[in-house]
Amino acid sequence: MHYRLALIGFGGVARALVEILRNKGNELPQKDGLELSVVAVSDLRLGMAEDPDGLDLAALVDLPNEPGALAAFSGGRAEPDNEAVIKRSTADIVVEATFTNPETGEPALSHCRWALESGKHLVTSNKGPVALAAAELTKKAEAKGLAFSYEGTVMSGTPVIRTAEQCLAGCHIAGFRGILNGTANFVLGQVETGMSFDDAIALAQSRGYAEADPTADIGGSDVLMKVLILARALFDQAVEASAVPCQGITGLSEAEVRAAKAEGHRWKLLGQGSVAPDGHVALEVAPIMLPDSDPLASIEGPTNALTLDTDLLGPVTVSGPGAGRIETGFALLADILAIHAQSQPPRYRQ
Protein backbone atom coordinates (compact mmCIF):
# COMPACT_ATOMS: atom_id res chain seq x y z
CA MET A 1 0.00 0.00 0.00
CA HIS A 2 1.37 3.42 -0.92
CA TYR A 3 0.76 6.53 1.23
CA ARG A 4 1.69 10.03 0.12
CA LEU A 5 2.69 12.46 2.86
CA ALA A 6 2.44 16.27 2.93
CA LEU A 7 4.69 17.79 5.58
CA ILE A 8 3.48 21.06 7.04
CA GLY A 9 6.36 22.57 8.98
CA PHE A 10 9.86 21.32 8.25
CA GLY A 11 11.73 21.89 11.51
CA GLY A 12 13.71 19.32 13.46
CA VAL A 13 10.88 16.83 14.01
CA ALA A 14 9.63 16.64 10.40
CA ARG A 15 13.24 16.43 9.18
CA ALA A 16 13.81 13.58 11.63
CA LEU A 17 10.81 11.75 10.15
CA VAL A 18 12.28 12.14 6.66
CA GLU A 19 15.64 10.96 7.98
CA ILE A 20 13.99 7.83 9.42
CA LEU A 21 12.16 7.22 6.12
CA ARG A 22 15.39 7.63 4.18
CA ASN A 23 17.27 5.27 6.49
CA LYS A 24 14.54 2.68 6.97
CA GLY A 25 12.45 3.17 3.85
CA ASN A 26 13.67 -0.04 2.25
CA GLU A 27 12.69 -2.08 5.28
CA LEU A 28 9.15 -0.76 5.53
CA PRO A 29 7.63 -2.25 2.35
CA GLN A 30 8.99 -5.72 3.13
CA LYS A 31 8.21 -5.63 6.82
CA ASP A 32 4.90 -3.85 6.91
CA GLY A 33 3.66 -3.98 3.34
CA LEU A 34 3.67 -0.26 2.79
CA GLU A 35 5.48 2.40 0.87
CA LEU A 36 5.73 6.04 1.91
CA SER A 37 6.61 9.04 -0.21
CA VAL A 38 6.73 12.75 0.59
CA VAL A 39 4.78 14.58 -2.11
CA ALA A 40 4.81 18.07 -0.56
CA VAL A 41 6.61 20.16 2.03
CA SER A 42 5.60 23.63 3.11
CA ASP A 43 7.42 25.61 5.78
CA LEU A 44 7.15 29.21 6.93
CA ARG A 45 10.90 29.85 6.56
CA LEU A 46 11.95 27.37 3.91
CA GLY A 47 9.15 27.81 1.34
CA MET A 48 7.51 24.89 -0.43
CA ALA A 49 8.17 22.03 -2.83
CA GLU A 50 5.80 19.52 -4.40
CA ASP A 51 6.18 16.44 -6.54
CA PRO A 52 3.33 13.94 -6.95
CA ASP A 53 5.96 11.25 -7.71
CA GLY A 54 7.74 11.90 -4.43
CA LEU A 55 10.43 14.38 -3.43
CA ASP A 56 13.99 13.16 -3.06
CA LEU A 57 14.33 12.18 0.62
CA ALA A 58 18.11 12.52 0.75
CA ALA A 59 17.88 16.04 -0.69
CA LEU A 60 15.25 16.92 1.92
CA VAL A 61 17.41 15.59 4.78
CA ASP A 62 20.37 17.63 3.51
CA LEU A 63 18.34 20.78 2.83
CA PRO A 64 20.20 23.82 4.19
CA ASN A 65 18.31 25.48 7.02
CA GLU A 66 18.16 28.78 5.13
CA PRO A 67 15.18 30.96 4.25
CA GLY A 68 13.63 29.90 0.94
CA ALA A 69 15.81 26.76 0.65
CA LEU A 70 12.95 24.66 -0.82
CA ALA A 71 13.07 26.84 -3.95
CA ALA A 72 16.06 24.72 -4.98
CA PHE A 73 13.71 21.80 -5.75
CA SER A 74 12.28 21.57 -9.24
CA GLY A 75 9.02 23.56 -9.07
CA GLY A 76 9.87 24.68 -5.53
CA ARG A 77 9.24 28.19 -4.20
CA ALA A 78 10.79 30.41 -1.56
CA GLU A 79 7.32 31.25 -0.18
CA PRO A 80 5.22 28.69 1.72
CA ASP A 81 1.59 27.99 0.91
CA ASN A 82 0.36 25.72 3.68
CA GLU A 83 -3.30 26.07 2.74
CA ALA A 84 -2.83 25.13 -0.92
CA VAL A 85 -0.51 22.26 -0.06
CA ILE A 86 -2.94 20.82 2.48
CA LYS A 87 -6.09 21.28 0.42
CA ARG A 88 -4.90 20.56 -3.08
CA SER A 89 -1.92 18.20 -2.88
CA THR A 90 -2.25 14.53 -3.77
CA ALA A 91 -1.32 13.58 -0.20
CA ASP A 92 -3.24 10.92 1.71
CA ILE A 93 -1.75 11.96 5.07
CA VAL A 94 -0.95 15.46 6.34
CA VAL A 95 1.87 15.58 8.90
CA GLU A 96 1.46 18.75 10.97
CA ALA A 97 4.68 19.72 12.76
CA THR A 98 4.71 23.51 12.89
CA PHE A 99 5.39 25.42 16.11
CA THR A 100 3.14 25.01 19.14
CA ASN A 101 0.95 27.93 20.13
CA PRO A 102 -0.60 27.14 23.53
CA GLU A 103 -3.06 30.09 23.50
CA THR A 104 -4.88 29.72 20.17
CA GLY A 105 -3.27 26.62 18.62
CA GLU A 106 -2.87 28.65 15.41
CA PRO A 107 -1.83 28.42 12.67
CA ALA A 108 -1.56 24.68 13.34
CA LEU A 109 -5.23 24.35 14.25
CA SER A 110 -6.27 25.68 10.83
CA HIS A 111 -3.83 23.26 9.18
CA CYS A 112 -5.47 20.39 11.09
CA ARG A 113 -8.98 21.50 10.11
CA TRP A 114 -8.05 21.91 6.44
CA ALA A 115 -6.45 18.45 6.37
CA LEU A 116 -9.53 16.68 7.72
CA GLU A 117 -12.02 18.82 5.78
CA SER A 118 -10.19 17.97 2.56
CA GLY A 119 -10.37 14.23 3.32
CA LYS A 120 -6.78 13.59 4.43
CA HIS A 121 -5.61 11.64 7.46
CA LEU A 122 -3.92 13.85 10.04
CA VAL A 123 -0.95 13.02 12.25
CA THR A 124 0.66 15.63 14.45
CA SER A 125 3.23 16.15 17.17
CA ASN A 126 1.88 19.66 17.78
CA LYS A 127 0.49 20.02 21.30
CA GLY A 128 -1.43 23.27 20.78
CA PRO A 129 -4.25 22.11 18.49
CA VAL A 130 -4.63 18.80 20.33
CA ALA A 131 -4.75 20.39 23.80
CA LEU A 132 -7.26 23.00 22.65
CA ALA A 133 -9.43 21.24 20.08
CA ALA A 134 -9.01 17.45 20.20
CA ALA A 135 -12.77 16.91 20.58
CA GLU A 136 -13.60 18.97 17.48
CA LEU A 137 -10.83 17.39 15.41
CA THR A 138 -11.77 13.86 16.50
CA LYS A 139 -15.38 14.52 15.48
CA LYS A 140 -14.28 15.82 12.09
CA ALA A 141 -12.02 12.81 11.55
CA GLU A 142 -14.68 10.29 12.63
CA ALA A 143 -17.30 11.89 10.38
CA LYS A 144 -15.11 11.15 7.36
CA GLY A 145 -13.54 7.87 8.50
CA LEU A 146 -10.12 9.50 8.77
CA ALA A 147 -7.32 9.10 11.31
CA PHE A 148 -6.41 11.86 13.74
CA SER A 149 -3.36 10.68 15.71
CA TYR A 150 -1.11 12.57 18.08
CA GLU A 151 1.09 10.05 19.90
CA GLY A 152 4.10 12.40 19.81
CA THR A 153 2.40 15.16 21.79
CA VAL A 154 2.97 13.36 25.10
CA MET A 155 6.33 11.68 25.88
CA SER A 156 7.44 11.94 22.22
CA GLY A 157 7.81 8.43 20.72
CA THR A 158 7.36 6.59 24.02
CA PRO A 159 3.95 5.03 23.46
CA VAL A 160 1.54 6.22 26.10
CA ILE A 161 -1.58 7.21 24.18
CA ARG A 162 -1.63 4.09 22.04
CA THR A 163 -0.75 1.96 25.08
CA ALA A 164 -3.76 3.35 26.93
CA GLU A 165 -6.17 3.27 23.99
CA GLN A 166 -5.21 -0.11 22.56
CA CYS A 167 -3.15 -2.26 24.94
CA LEU A 168 -5.21 -1.23 27.98
CA ALA A 169 -8.57 -1.26 26.20
CA GLY A 170 -10.89 -3.11 28.58
CA CYS A 171 -9.28 -1.57 31.67
CA HIS A 172 -10.83 1.42 33.37
CA ILE A 173 -8.18 4.12 33.81
CA ALA A 174 -9.14 6.22 36.82
CA GLY A 175 -6.06 8.40 37.01
CA PHE A 176 -2.55 9.22 35.89
CA ARG A 177 0.54 10.79 37.39
CA GLY A 178 3.72 11.52 35.53
CA ILE A 179 6.92 13.35 34.80
CA LEU A 180 5.98 14.85 31.47
CA ASN A 181 8.58 17.53 30.85
CA GLY A 182 12.14 16.42 30.14
CA THR A 183 13.62 19.90 30.49
CA ALA A 184 12.19 20.52 33.98
CA ASN A 185 13.30 17.08 35.17
CA PHE A 186 16.78 17.57 33.73
CA VAL A 187 17.07 21.04 35.29
CA LEU A 188 15.99 19.81 38.74
CA GLY A 189 18.58 17.00 38.55
CA GLN A 190 21.35 19.42 37.59
CA VAL A 191 20.41 21.86 40.35
CA GLU A 192 20.55 18.98 42.88
CA THR A 193 24.19 18.42 41.92
CA GLY A 194 25.15 22.07 42.33
CA MET A 195 24.41 23.83 39.04
CA SER A 196 22.40 27.07 39.02
CA PHE A 197 18.87 27.10 37.54
CA ASP A 198 20.02 29.44 34.75
CA ASP A 199 23.01 27.30 33.74
CA ALA A 200 20.90 24.13 33.86
CA ILE A 201 18.24 25.70 31.60
CA ALA A 202 20.94 26.85 29.16
CA LEU A 203 22.35 23.31 29.13
CA ALA A 204 18.88 21.84 28.45
CA GLN A 205 18.51 24.29 25.56
CA SER A 206 21.90 23.38 24.13
CA ARG A 207 20.92 19.69 24.24
CA GLY A 208 17.67 20.36 22.39
CA TYR A 209 15.27 19.31 25.18
CA ALA A 210 13.78 22.73 25.83
CA GLU A 211 11.09 24.50 23.82
CA ALA A 212 12.18 27.56 21.79
CA ASP A 213 10.95 29.56 24.77
CA PRO A 214 11.89 27.49 27.86
CA THR A 215 9.36 29.41 29.96
CA ALA A 216 6.79 26.80 28.89
CA ASP A 217 9.01 24.00 30.23
CA ILE A 218 9.87 25.42 33.61
CA GLY A 219 6.67 27.45 34.08
CA GLY A 220 4.45 24.36 33.74
CA SER A 221 2.46 25.27 30.61
CA ASP A 222 4.06 22.51 28.52
CA VAL A 223 2.91 19.93 31.10
CA LEU A 224 -0.47 21.65 31.24
CA MET A 225 -1.00 20.99 27.51
CA LYS A 226 0.02 17.36 28.04
CA VAL A 227 -2.42 16.78 30.90
CA LEU A 228 -5.21 18.30 28.77
CA ILE A 229 -4.28 15.89 25.97
CA LEU A 230 -4.21 12.95 28.41
CA ALA A 231 -7.61 13.93 29.85
CA ARG A 232 -8.99 13.73 26.35
CA ALA A 233 -7.24 10.48 25.42
CA LEU A 234 -7.73 8.63 28.72
CA PHE A 235 -11.00 10.05 30.08
CA ASP A 236 -12.63 11.29 26.85
CA GLN A 237 -13.08 14.71 28.46
CA ALA A 238 -12.34 18.17 27.12
CA VAL A 239 -11.03 20.36 29.95
CA GLU A 240 -10.32 24.10 29.66
CA ALA A 241 -6.74 25.11 30.46
CA SER A 242 -8.06 27.81 32.80
CA ALA A 243 -9.69 25.12 34.99
CA VAL A 244 -6.36 23.45 35.79
CA PRO A 245 -4.17 24.64 38.68
CA CYS A 246 -0.73 25.00 37.13
CA GLN A 247 2.56 25.72 38.82
CA GLY A 248 6.02 25.16 37.35
CA ILE A 249 9.38 24.89 39.07
CA THR A 250 10.11 28.61 39.07
CA GLY A 251 8.92 28.97 42.68
CA LEU A 252 11.54 26.49 43.95
CA SER A 253 14.89 27.76 45.19
CA GLU A 254 18.20 26.04 44.49
CA ALA A 255 18.71 25.60 48.25
CA GLU A 256 15.30 23.90 48.63
CA VAL A 257 16.01 21.44 45.81
CA ARG A 258 19.43 20.53 47.23
CA ALA A 259 18.16 20.24 50.82
CA ALA A 260 15.41 17.83 49.75
CA LYS A 261 17.95 15.66 47.93
CA ALA A 262 20.21 15.58 51.00
CA GLU A 263 17.27 14.38 53.09
CA GLY A 264 16.26 11.51 50.78
CA HIS A 265 13.63 13.38 48.79
CA ARG A 266 13.44 14.74 45.26
CA TRP A 267 11.45 17.59 43.81
CA LYS A 268 9.69 16.55 40.60
CA LEU A 269 7.35 18.49 38.33
CA LEU A 270 4.27 16.27 38.05
CA GLY A 271 1.22 16.30 35.84
CA GLN A 272 -1.67 14.47 37.46
CA GLY A 273 -5.28 13.68 36.67
CA SER A 274 -8.19 11.60 37.90
CA VAL A 275 -11.76 10.93 36.90
CA ALA A 276 -14.40 10.39 39.59
CA PRO A 277 -17.22 7.83 39.17
CA ASP A 278 -19.59 10.73 38.36
CA GLY A 279 -17.30 11.73 35.47
CA HIS A 280 -15.76 14.76 37.18
CA VAL A 281 -12.17 15.22 36.04
CA ALA A 282 -9.53 16.88 38.23
CA LEU A 283 -6.18 17.85 36.71
CA GLU A 284 -3.14 19.51 38.22
CA VAL A 285 0.40 20.54 37.35
CA ALA A 286 2.68 21.15 40.33
CA PRO A 287 6.13 20.50 41.76
CA ILE A 288 5.85 17.75 44.38
CA MET A 289 8.53 16.54 46.78
CA LEU A 290 8.67 12.74 46.47
CA PRO A 291 10.39 10.32 48.82
CA ASP A 292 13.25 8.39 47.21
CA SER A 293 11.10 5.26 47.47
CA ASP A 294 8.54 6.65 44.97
CA PRO A 295 9.12 5.02 41.53
CA LEU A 296 8.90 8.45 39.85
CA ALA A 297 11.70 9.80 42.10
CA SER A 298 14.28 7.73 40.22
CA ILE A 299 13.37 9.12 36.79
CA GLU A 300 16.50 11.03 35.75
CA GLY A 301 17.44 13.70 33.23
CA PRO A 302 15.16 14.27 30.21
CA THR A 303 13.43 10.90 30.69
CA ASN A 304 9.66 10.96 31.22
CA ALA A 305 7.41 8.45 32.98
CA LEU A 306 3.68 8.09 33.30
CA THR A 307 1.82 5.85 35.73
CA LEU A 308 -1.71 4.90 34.75
CA ASP A 309 -4.02 3.79 37.52
CA THR A 310 -6.02 0.87 36.08
CA ASP A 311 -8.73 -1.31 37.62
CA LEU A 312 -7.53 -4.66 36.29
CA LEU A 313 -3.75 -4.30 36.45
CA GLY A 314 -3.27 -1.69 39.17
CA PRO A 315 -0.60 0.90 38.38
CA VAL A 316 1.04 0.55 34.95
CA THR A 317 4.09 2.74 34.34
CA VAL A 318 5.53 3.59 30.94
CA SER A 319 8.93 5.28 30.92
CA GLY A 320 11.18 6.49 28.12
CA PRO A 321 12.35 9.51 26.17
CA GLY A 322 10.01 12.47 26.45
CA ALA A 323 11.64 14.79 23.95
CA GLY A 324 14.03 14.84 21.01
CA ARG A 325 13.85 15.09 17.23
CA ILE A 326 14.33 11.44 16.29
CA GLU A 327 12.16 10.34 19.21
CA THR A 328 9.30 12.62 18.11
CA GLY A 329 9.89 11.84 14.42
CA PHE A 330 9.41 8.20 15.37
CA ALA A 331 6.07 9.07 17.00
CA LEU A 332 4.90 10.47 13.65
CA LEU A 333 6.03 7.28 11.91
CA ALA A 334 4.18 5.20 14.52
CA ASP A 335 1.00 7.19 13.82
CA ILE A 336 1.44 6.63 10.08
CA LEU A 337 2.03 2.91 10.56
CA ALA A 338 -1.11 2.74 12.69
CA ILE A 339 -3.13 4.19 9.78
CA HIS A 340 -1.73 1.43 7.59
CA ALA A 341 -2.42 -1.23 10.23
CA GLN A 342 -6.06 -0.14 10.43
CA SER A 343 -6.45 -0.80 6.71
CA GLN A 344 -5.07 -4.34 7.03
CA PRO A 345 -6.73 -7.61 8.02
CA PRO A 346 -7.01 -7.98 11.84
CA ARG A 347 -3.86 -10.07 12.37
CA TYR A 348 -1.70 -7.14 11.22
CA ARG A 349 -3.42 -4.55 13.38
CA GLN A 350 -1.48 -2.72 16.08
Site mask, ligand HSE, residues 101-140, x = CB under 6 A? Answer: ----------------------------------------
- Beta bridge partners, 281, equal 275
The minimum distance between CB 103 and ligand HSE, in angstroms, equals 17
57 is a site residue for ligand HSE (CB under 6 A): no
Give me the DSSP letters along 37-72: EEEEEEETTTEEEE-TT---HHHHHT--SSTTGGGG
335 is a site residue for ligand HSE (CB under 6 A): no
Residue 135: count other Cβ atoms within 10 Å of its Cβ.
12
- Cis? peptide before 346, omega within 30° of 0: no
3-state helix, strand, coil in the chain (%, to 5): 45, 25, 35
- Of 92, 192, 222, 309, the one binding ligand HSE by CB under 6 A: 222
51 is a site residue for ligand HSE (CB under 6 A): no
Cα 134 from Cα 13, distance rounded (Å):
21
Contact 48, 76 (CB under 8 A): yes
322 is a site residue for ligand HSE (CB under 6 A): yes
Cα 294 from Cα 59, distance rounded (Å):
48
The region of 67-75, 111-119, 176-184, 257-265 touching ligand HSE under the rule CB under 6 A is 176-184
Q: Which of 99, 127, 95 is nearest to 322 (CA)?
A: 127
- Looking at beta carbons only, is 76 or 214 nearer to ligand HSE? 214
The region of 23-31, 39-47, 159-167, 179-187 touching ligand HSE under the rule CB under 6 A is 179-187
Cα of first residue to Cα of last residue in the chain, in angstroms, is 16
The region of 89-97, 192-200, 207-215, 270-278 touching ligand HSE under the rule CB under 6 A is 207-215
Please give the radius of gyration of the chain, using alpha carbons only, rounded to the nearest integer: 20
Q: Is position 226 annotated as part of the catalytic site?
A: yes
- Looking at beta carbons only, is 80 or 302 nearer to ligand HSE? 302
Catalytic residue (one of 127, 140, 226, 268): 226
Enumerate residues 6+ apart whose C-beta is below 8 A from 267: 188, 249, 252, 256, 257, 260, 287, 288, 289, 290
182 is a site residue for ligand HSE (CB under 6 A): yes
151 is a site residue for ligand HSE (CB under 6 A): no
The minimum distance between CB 210 and ligand HSE, in angstroms, equals 5
Contact 62, 29 (CB under 8 A): no
- Of 43, 192, 217, 335, the one binding ligand HSE by CB under 6 A: 217
Q: With contacts defined by CB under 6 A, how many residues of the chain interact with ligand HSE? A: 11
323 is a site residue for ligand HSE (CB under 6 A): yes
Cα 63 from Cα 79, distance rounded (Å):
15
211 is a site residue for ligand HSE (CB under 6 A): yes
Active-site residue list: 226
Interface ranges with ligand HSE (CB under 6 A)? 156, 181-183, 209-211, 217, 222, 322-323
